[in-house]
Structure formats: C-alpha cells, structure tokens
Amino acid sequence: MRDFLKLMTAVRPGSVLLVAILSFATIAGAQDSAGTINWPIYQDMAVSLMQQYLRINTSNPPGNEIETAKFFKTIFDKYGIQNEIFEYKPGRANILARLKGNGSKRPIILLSHMDVVTADPAAWQIDPFSAEIKNGSIYGRGALDMKNEGLLHLMTMILLAKEGPQLSRDVIFVGTADEEVKDEGSIWMIANKADLFRNAEYLLTEGGDNLLENASVKFVGVDVAEKAPFWLQLTATGQAGHGSRPIADSAPNRLVRAMARILDYQTPIKLLPAVEKFFRDVAPLQKEPWRSRFASITESLKDPAFVKELTGEREYNFLLRNTISLTMLDGSKQTNVIPNTASCNLDVRLLPGEDPKEFLATLTRVINDSTIKIQNVNTFKPPNSSPIDTELFQTISRITKIHHPEALITTKMLSGYTESQLYRQLGIIAYGWAPVYTTVEENEGVHGNNERITVKNIREGTREFYDVVVQISR
Ligand SMILES: [Zn+2]
C-alpha cells in the first residue's frame, strides 16, 4: 500500500495511473471503514454533543474553559478514556485524554482550543450560545472556530474506544484554553506537561482551508505552514509648534516620508516548497495563461510582468513574500498643533524561515532616517512549517478522495497564526486539517456574525475524521 501511495505523490494530476491508484485506494478504504460501525447512532450523538458544547460560553475574555474541560471529562470518564484536567489558573483549564497504542508508532495529537471569540448577540439572527438548528445549520460562536473540530476529535476518541482496532500509536486529545488571546493554555502545557506528548509524531488542529461550491468540495487545503506576525511601531520625534508655522522636519513629516519609502518598497519574492506545490496543484483550476504559468511557477516568477500581475492579487501575494500593512497612525490631537511625536504601527507578517532581525535591518535601510525609532510590539513566535511528504498527508489525501472524488487536495500556507507553530518547535509534524467544508459565505461567520456549521458537516465529518485517524494509527 505504501509503495502505491509513494507513487501517487509522484504522479501529476490527470494521468491514467493516478486514477487507477485512487480506485484501488477507494476499495481498500471502504473495506476499512464500512465494517460493523453503526454510523447513524454516532452521527446523531455528534450533533447532540456539538449543541451541548456550543452552549457552554467560553468567550475569551474571560474564557472560563474549565466548564468545557469538565464537559469533556464527563464524556471521557463515561467511555473509560484516561484523561486529566489542568486548571492552570482559576477558571482557565486544559484537558488531555489518551488512548493507548501498542507503541510501535509515535503518538498523534488531536489539538483544539476550547475558547471562542466574543459575540454580539444583537448582531446575530440567533442567540450565539443557543446552538439552535435552523435550515440545516447549527448556529453558535465556535461552530467553525473551532468547537466543531474539538467535537470531531471527541467523536474520534469515543469511536476508537468503542469500535476501534488495536492502535499502533497513542491517540492524544488536547483541549486548550486561551488560543484566541494569548495562547496561555498551550504555552502552559508545553512548559509544564510536554512529557505527556513531546514524543508525538503528528498533530492535527485548525487551519485547513477547504472550499464548498455548488454543494461539491472544490478544494481541500491542508495547512502545513503559517506566517508569523512581527508587529512594529515607528516613532518619529521633532520640534513641536503651531500649525500656522510649518516645521519642515517635524515628527509627522518625518514619519510620513518614512512611510512613503516603506510603501514604495517591495519585499523580495520567495517561493517555499509548500507554496510551489500549491500553485502547481491549483493550476488545473485556472484559465490560460495562468494555468500554464502556475504549473511552472518557479520559471514563471522570473518574469517581472507576471510577478506584478500575480502579486496584485491579495490571495496570492501573501504566499510569496513577507508583507507589510500600515494599520495604526497617531499624531497630534489638534489640527493646529504640530506634535513632537508621531507614530504608526505596521502589521508585518514573515514567511516561515525568516529572521526578524534581518527583516528589521532591511527595513531600517529602507526608512533611511536614523531619528525614527523602530520597535517590535508583539511577542514574536518564529514561523515554521511541516514537511509535505508524510504518511499523514497521504492518508488525508486518500481518505478525502474516497469521500469526495471531485476534490482537489493541496497544501495551504495561512496568512494567520495557529497553535501548530508552538508544537512544531517540539519536532512534531503539525497540520491544519479537518473534514469540514464551508462556502465563502459561511466562512464569514468565523470571528464574525451568525457563525454556523451544517449538520451534514458534523455527521459526515465524524466519519471522515475517524477514518483518517484510524488509518494512520493502524
Ligand atoms: Zn481558532
């Protein structure tokens, strides 16, 4: 089986060989999961537990994840799954549960954060903590980010405990607090309890980028890398005075000149392996001439005209370079007062592998004004990535193809941050993936209003997620 799969990754889409291998995989996969499991029972249970989970208000701040940790504990206890809550400060808790394998393979971690961002009930059609089902969707804060995935992880643990085969590796469920604000939960776990999971080979969490269009799965993007925020503040100082008598090198003037230089500056184009794969994989979805340009992206990027056109598209630009967005601006509070300081904040996002010191040195040269102070104003976490040529990536691709033969499966680098970054530092291969397929409109609910997930996603996702974990843990 493995030799076939290795071959599969070496074959370009569209070849006859690929089709043959996929149908082989389909038969094998169906035999693996069709067996004795009574799926409707578990799928009903998944919908009910999803509603219960969404009704627990873990808006962060304040979080109060101890309540969701207790919710999970009750269920794990019921199914005899070893588990422990870690309340690292009052009301803030992580939970870890484990199903033991025979140890022939290293563990896999199913990681989800239990906190959610706040919601303004007045802006929602349905109470954000009601978990009401309307038109086939369950509404609730966290329905997509990411209580849905926590629920799929929970169902996988239950299914493995009740129905699963002998596992080759430990399957570890981790629910964390505070991802949406400061990541205290995961940082605490890694600082204090890493012995419980440090030897893991794989980790699955949020971050996948899947697209549902006209009721079919168009695209499955497994997140293998994320960019890292490197927030900067620029402060200019100068002589203060009355607005009626201009000062040529005032703080605001200096700042604006510096900002103009930054806006004119183009960060260099860099093509990471995961991004190269992404462009090659999505090439067949493009119209010419982009189809052939994407297919040979390395070559194409040597053409300045193409680079200009491609990076003019927001969805592609961030994949290819460090980016700089000017966001906050601060100067005088009064029109007729020239202030002695003026400042702006830049939301800089660095590619995996980048050195912030080097970036800062370059930016200092670009600004070319030694009187302007540049400060880093967030906690920088080095961006990283995971390899693509793994058994887990192959398993996700194979199982997804079984359930959604029409889907294109590729890698995706996120512009945002996920907890994968923290766990990769332990040497764990971490991906953002879940079998949850949403439309562009549904995605607006993430950190927005009317966040919801279809009942179909919960029902079918329960099975697909289990299939992947069971396959990788045989
Ligand atoms: Zn999230």
Residue 301 to residue 276: CA distance in whole angstroms: 11
Average pLDDT of the chain, as a whole number: 91
> Distance, CA 184 to ligand 1 centroid (Å)?
14
> Distance, CA 324 to ligand 1 centroid (Å)?
23
Residue 459 confidence (pLDDT): 98
User: Would you say 222 and 431 are in contact if contact means Cβ atoms under 8 Å apart?
Assistant: yes
Structure tokens at 192: 């204090």
> Distance, CA 60 to ligand 1 centroid (Å)?
12
The residues, ordered by sequence, that sit 6+ positions from 398 with a Cβ below 8 Å of its Cβ are 5, 8, 25, 29, 471
> Distance, CA 348 to ligand 1 centroid (Å)?
20
Per-residue pLDDT at 337 exceeds 90: yes
Residue 357 confidence (pLDDT): 97
> Distance, CA 112 to ligand 1 centroid (Å)?
8
Please give the average per-residue pLDDT across 178-185, as a whole number. 94
Per-residue pLDDT at 455 exceeds 70: yes
Q: Give the pLDDT confidence of 242-283 residue by residue, as tens digits.
A: 999 999 999 999 999 999 999 999 999 999 999 999 999 999
Residue 35 confidence (pLDDT): 61
Residue 13 confidence (pLDDT): 33
> Distance, CA 243 to ligand 1 centroid (Å)?
47
> Distance, CA 180 to ligand 1 centroid (Å)?
7
User: Would you say 434 and 148 are in contact if contact means Cβ atoms under 8 Å apart?
Assistant: yes
Task: Tell me the angle at which helices 391-403 and 16-34 cross, rounded to the nearest 10 degrees.
Answer: 80
For 298, other C-beta atoms within 10 Å of its C-beta total 10
Q: Kindly state the DSSP code that residue 59 receives in the 8-state scheme.
A: B
User: Would you say 271 and 296 are in contact if contact means Cβ atoms under 8 Å apart?
Assistant: no
Residue 36 confidence (pLDDT): 87
Residue 22 confidence (pLDDT): 33
Q: Give the pLDDT confidence of 120-156 residue by residue, as tens digits.
A: 999 999 999 999 999 999 999 999 999 999 999 999 9
Residue 394 to residue 457: CA distance in whole angstroms: 22
User: Would you say 325 and 299 are in contact if contact means Cβ atoms under 8 Å apart?
Assistant: no
> Distance, CA 295 to ligand 1 centroid (Å)?
32
Q: Give the pLDDT confidence of 16-74 residue by residue, as tens digits.
A: 333 333 333 333 333 344 568 999 999 999 999 999 999 999 999 999 999 999 999 99
How far is CA 211 from each of CA 435, 442, 468, rounded to the nearest angstrom?
Answer: 11, 10, 19
Question: Quick check: helix, strand or coil at residue 134?
Answer: strand
Q: Kindly state the DSSP code that residue 325 receives in the 8-state scheme.
A: E
Per-residue pLDDT at 98 exceeds 70: yes
Residue 132 to residue 321: CA distance in whole angstroms: 42
> Distance, CA 143 to ligand 1 centroid (Å)?
10
Instruction: Tell me whether the omega of the peptide bond preceding residue 289 falls within 30 degrees of 0, making it cis.
Output: yes
Per-residue pLDDT at 11 exceeds 90: no
> Distance, CA 52 to ligand 1 centroid (Å)?
19
> Distance, CA 415 to ligand 1 centroid (Å)?
13
> Distance, CA 433 to ligand 1 centroid (Å)?
12
Backbone angles phi, psi at 463, to 5 degrees: -75, -45
Please give the average per-residue pLDDT across 187-209, as a whole number. 96
The residues, ordered by sequence, that sit 6+ positions from 436 with a Cβ below 8 Å of its Cβ are 144, 148, 149, 152, 208, 210, 453, 457, 461
> Distance, CA 149 to ligand 1 centroid (Å)?
10
- The burial of 102, by beta-carbon neighbours within 10 Å (0-12 exposed, 13-18 middle, 19 or more buried), is given as exposed
> Distance, CA 56 to ligand 1 centroid (Å)?
16
User: Would you say 203 and 430 are in contact if contact means Cβ atoms under 8 Å apart?
Assistant: yes
